[in-house]
Amino acid sequence: MLRVTDLTKTFGGLKALGGVSLHIPEKRVLGLLGMNGSGKTTLLNCINGLYEPSSGDIQLQGTSLLGLPTHKIAARGVGRTFQVPKLFPRMTLLENLAAPFTTGDASDAEVYERSAEWLNRVELYRLRHNYAEELSGGQQKLVELARMMVAQPKLVLLDEPFAGVNPSLALLIIRLIEAMPERDGCSVLLVSHDLTSVYQLSHNIVVLHEGRVLAEGGAAEIRSNPDVIEAYLGA
Amino acid sequence: MASSLGGVAAPAEGRSGDARVGRIRISLWIVVALGVVLPLLAAPALTENLSFSFYLMLWIILCTSFNLVAGFTGYMPFGYVAFYGVGAYATGVLHKTYGLPMPGALVCAALAGAAVSLLLAPTLRLKGVYFGIVSLALAVIFRLVVSMLPEDITGGSMGLILARANDPQTTYYVTVAVLAACLAAAGWLAFSRTGVALRAVRDDADAAAIVGIDVTRTRLKAWVLAATFPAVVGGLEAWYTNAIDPEASFNILVTAKVIVYSMAGGLGTLLGPVLGAGALYGIDHLIWQKFPVLNLMFLGIIIMVMILVFPRGLVGSFAQRFPLLRRYIP
Amino acid sequence: MTADLLLQGLINGLILGLIYSLIGLSLNIIFGVLRVVNFAHGEFIILGAYAAYFLQRLLGLSPFLAMPVIFVMFALIGWALYFVLVKRLARSDDPETASLLVMFGLSITLGALMLFFFEADARSLDYMLEPPFLMFGNIVIPTTRLVALAITLVITGITAWFLYRTFPGKALRAVIMNRSAVATVGIDVEKLSAMTFGIGLGFAGVTGVLLAMIFPAFSPFAGADYTLIGFIIIVLGGLGHPIGALVGGLLFGVTEQVTVVLADNSVALLVGFALMIAVIFFRPSGLFGRQQLR
């Protein structure tokens, strides 16, 4: 589904990504671990076109995404959430979820049905006429997730989906992510600090350290990898 | 409430209720628009003095189109008057200097407004304060350039007199038609998907791009539409008063009044600018007749009080006060 | 002969540019610390000129002695205005645009008040220096301009000393660089902000006296022009950057005066604007600033 090859990104003299390669197969969850400043968010920003990579390639289903503007990458089926949710604060939840359809040709009824369905799945249907700014931080994360999923993406990039969310909402988010590959048919790139949920949700895990891939493999391998232990506990 | 992974369709009563909300909002706007246009259409039959109604229409058009860019896309063009001035001059010069009939001159004014807005489109890359400053500077540049053009074309700093065109009655009815078109266009923009896209871009341009909205093109649509109407209005005013000059056509007070009227009503809603223009132009008109200089001072004070005390305007404050009614306000 | 004229333009430009840079300096200190774009700056400058005029008319105070008086007067007004207007802005949805609008309102109000009280006629300060002109070869420089230049240099020097050598000055620069960090180290940001607005308006007042000395006349309408010149200068030098204003002022002054030699006044303003717009598009942080578009 997504193949990133030898990607680098420098800001001025600072190397944020120093040659990262990774691959997400269809309907699989790839967990991305790393400390603050290891380049996780930079990688996501490169994939959906917010940053222009300095070198390397990003391919979605075999075609390169390089040079495409963010909205075209979104139209190819790449969804994204942010660590601090980026909603449209002075629009209602229904309008927030209608925003992805402003360019497509879905009928009004269809847009409403799909928005309502996703608002139901994140258990916020009753707040559909509220402005996004009136919701709590955790609820905003759910709305952002719904706004992303309502467009039926092929690949979603989740940036710290559990950060600042209370345990019961976090449980709901875990269940939603769990369902993404099979039920919603999309691949997931999951960035998180929360080791437990990354181990639980991911089919495969990549650990970034100072802009490079430090380790790669299944949960058990990563857990026992000496380099990872060193980087996480030693530094 | 359905569980998160179980039955997920919207409850039927919610669905039909929500569809009704949309219909009510559109109907309300149609009622408001007719309520504004019809009395103004009848005004010539009722009163001799058309000047007040003419300028009322002028301000409603200016504020409604200003709202498309300031309320729906979040830019604050301090040089908004440039479009008005360009329209006035396009009309005046084409009619007086090149002998084009008035209707043709007005159409050209609209095209000139759209063309200028495309020319200035790169300024939309700027944010916040920079956009405001550049926009203001551009309005001054336009005034300087117009007053420096050859005198046999634009009349230089003295301007032009269009005495031949004098026909207030016709001007009035054309203005009513432009008003109706403006209210319809604003309604179309607000209720269409472009309207949702615009407000998304206003609230968070990055997030809008993430969900697939072409930010640049969306802004451009509103920008061109918001520039075309003031250009026509500039032309109409030139036709009505039969005179143009650089100072009057590019007067920054036009921008000031547009900002005050629309903010007082409430930017970001269709109703706000119409209400604001109607109420404040009325007050302005009364004060202006008695104390022309103090009027300016009041204008300035109202801007300050507005922003500091209730920045969301009449309609915005109402919506904040009664959140349940908010969804019905056009 | 043309070479002489150009040289004359260049020298005029440097002198005027340095005086103009005072406008930019005070605008930038205010923007840097408060994130407020003072749209009403030009009106305060003209008010400064009127203050000098009336101090001279009513109390017989010479413009030179009036300057410190006006500085203190305007600083107090600025201090008070901070609490009435500026402080409330922090609460709004988009403080920078809101500040632009509020100051726009203030500029209209002040313009109208001046028109009401002082009427539309142009006034001028009544004083003479002997000799009125100094000749350097073929270059003629009015004595008042040299005196104004000297005063500007003194003011700039004092400002630099204040910003780089005194505690409140250093605190002020610290706020420009990182507002939230400063509050945590125990500097009273509010007091500092009020002081900044005061100093900014004090400068505007003094600049008004200087401009009234070197240009023959002033009227309530000239405020907007000075505001625009100030905007051009701070955009050229970098928004919120005190030293940048100096460079921006010189650049604008030279451009303006050299264009005046080659064409005329309105073209000069056009060229100034063109310069500003070019800088915004090609180097949005200004020639010296680090701050980005927002």
Q: How many CB atoms lie within 10 A of CB A176?
A: 21
Q: ipTM of the assembly?
A: 0.90
Domain positions in chain A are: 1-77+154-169+181-235, 86-152
Cβ of residue B128 closer than 8 Å to a chain A Cβ: no
Average pLDDT over residues B162-178: 86
According to the 3-state scheme, what is the secondary structure of chain C? CHHHHHHHHHHHHHHHHHHHHHHHHHHHHHHHHHCCCCCCHHHHHHHHHHHHHHHHHHHCCCHHHHHHHHHHHHHHHHHHHHHHHHHHHCCCCCHHHHHHHHHHHHHHHHHHHHHHHHCCCCECCCCCCCCCEEEECCEEEEHHHHHHHHHHHHHHHHHHHHHHHCHHHHHHHHHHHCHHHHHHCCCCHHHHHHHHHHHHHHHHHHHHHHHHHHCCCECHHHHHHHHHHHHHHHHHHCCCCHHHHHHHHHHHHHHHHHHHHHCCHHHHHHHHHHHHHHHHHHCCCCCCCCCCCC
Whether B156 shows a pLDDT value over 60: the answer reads yes
Residue C136 CA, chain-centre distance (Å), reads 29
Crossing angle of helices A108-121 and A137-149, rounded to 10°? 140
CB atoms B208 and A88 under 8 Å: yes
CB atoms B206 and A70 under 8 Å: yes
Q: Search chain B and give the residue with CA nearest C273.
A: B137
Does residue B73 sit within a domain? Answer: yes
Average pLDDT over residues A193-210: 89
Per-residue confidence (pLDDT) for residue C285, from 0 to 100: 66
Residues 171-210 of A with CB under 8 A from B: 172, 175-176, 179, 183
What is each CA distance from C19 to B42, B222, C46, in whole angstroms? 59, 42, 15
Per-residue confidence (pLDDT) for residue A27, from 0 to 100: 92
Per-residue confidence (pLDDT) for residue A2, from 0 to 100: 92
Domain of B224, CATH number, reads 1.10.3470
Nearest to B280 by CA among B249, B238, B313: B313
pLDDT band at B2 (very low <50, low <70, confident <90, very high): very low
Per-residue confidence (pLDDT) for residue B8, from 0 to 100: 55
Query: Per the structure block, which two tokens stand in for C24?
Result: 């930019």
Domain that holds residue B281: 21-326
Per-residue confidence (pLDDT) for residue A233, from 0 to 100: 60
Cβ of residue A57 closer than 8 Å to a chain B Cβ: no
Does residue B11 sit within a domain? Answer: no
Does residue B203 sit within a domain? Answer: yes
Q: Name residue, tokens 């301000």.
A: B59
Cβ of residue A65 closer than 8 Å to a chain B Cβ: no
| pLDDT tens figures, A58-85 | 999 989 999 899 999 999 999 999 999 9
Whether C46 shows a pLDDT value over 50: the answer reads yes
Q: Please answer whether residues A147 and A87 qualify as being in contact, where contact means their C-beta atoms are separated by less than 8 angstroms.
A: yes
Residues 94-123 of A with CB under 8 A from B: 94-96, 98-103, 112-113, 116-118, 120-123
Per-residue confidence (pLDDT) for residue A154, from 0 to 100: 93
pLDDT band at B13 (very low <50, low <70, confident <90, very high): low
Residues 85-144 of C with CB under 8 A from B: 85, 88-89, 92-94, 96-98, 100-102, 104-113, 115-116
| pLDDT tens figures, B98-121 | 888 889 999 999 999 999 999 988
| Shortest CA gap B19–chain A (Å) | 9
Whether A25 shows a pLDDT value over 80: the answer reads yes
Name which residue leads in pLDDT, C1 or C75. C75
**What's the mean pLDDT when you consider all of chain C?**
85
Q: In CATH, what class is A1-77+154-169+181-235?
A: alpha beta
| pLDDT tens figures, C70-106 | 999 999 999 999 998 888 887 777 777 788 888 989 9
Task: Report d(CA B129, CA A193) in Å as an integer.
Answer: 38
Per-residue confidence (pLDDT) for residue B12, from 0 to 100: 63
> Structurally, how many domains does chain B consist of?
1
| pLDDT tens figures, B37-81 | 999 998 888 887 888 999 999 999 999 999 999 988 888 898 999
Residues 230-259 of B with CB under 8 A from C: 252-253, 256, 259
Nearest to A186 by CA among A10, A26, A14: A26
CB atoms B196 and A94 under 8 Å: no
pLDDT band at B128 (very low <50, low <70, confident <90, very high): confident
Per-residue confidence (pLDDT) for residue B236, from 0 to 100: 94
CB atoms B18 and A101 under 8 Å: no
Average pLDDT over residues A23-39: 89
Q: Name residue, tokens 């009080």.
A: B305
Q: Please answer whether residues B255 and B79 qualify as being in contact, where contact means their C-beta atoms are separated by less than 8 angstroms.
A: yes
Name which residue leads in pLDDT, B109 or B325. B109
Whether C120 shows a pLDDT value over 70: the answer reads yes
Whether B275 shows a pLDDT value over 90: the answer reads yes
Chain pair B-C, CB pairs under 8 angstroms? 120
Whether B3 shows a pLDDT value over 50: the answer reads no
Per-residue confidence (pLDDT) for residue B1, from 0 to 100: 38
Does residue B9 sit within a domain? Answer: no
The percent of residues in chain A predicted with pLDDT above 90, rounded, is: 55
CB atoms B9 and A120 under 8 Å: yes
CB atoms B212 and A151 under 8 Å: yes
pLDDT band at B30 (very low <50, low <70, confident <90, very high): very high
Per-residue confidence (pLDDT) for residue B49, from 0 to 100: 81
**What's the mean pLDDT when you consider all of chain B?**
87
Per-residue confidence (pLDDT) for residue B4, from 0 to 100: 42
C88 vs B147, B306, B308: nearest CB: B308
Cβ of residue B196 closer than 8 Å to a chain A Cβ: yes
Domains annotated on chain C, with CATH: 2-282 (1.10.3470)
Q: Which residues of B touch C267 (CB under 8 A)?
A: 148
| Shortest CA gap B173–chain C (Å) | 34
Whether C61 shows a pLDDT value over 50: the answer reads yes
- Residues found in chain C: 294
pLDDT band at A118 (very low <50, low <70, confident <90, very high): very high
Per-residue confidence (pLDDT) for residue C291, from 0 to 100: 44
Those chains having 3 or more beta-carbon pairs within 8 angstroms of chain A are B
What is each CA distance from B229 to A207, B63, B93, B172, in whole angstroms? 56, 10, 18, 16
Average pLDDT over residues A38-64: 91
Query: Per the structure block, which two tokens stand in for B254?
Result: 């036009």
Nearest to B93 by CA among B225, B249, B223: B249
Task: Report d(CA B239, CA B231) in Å as an integer.
Answer: 13
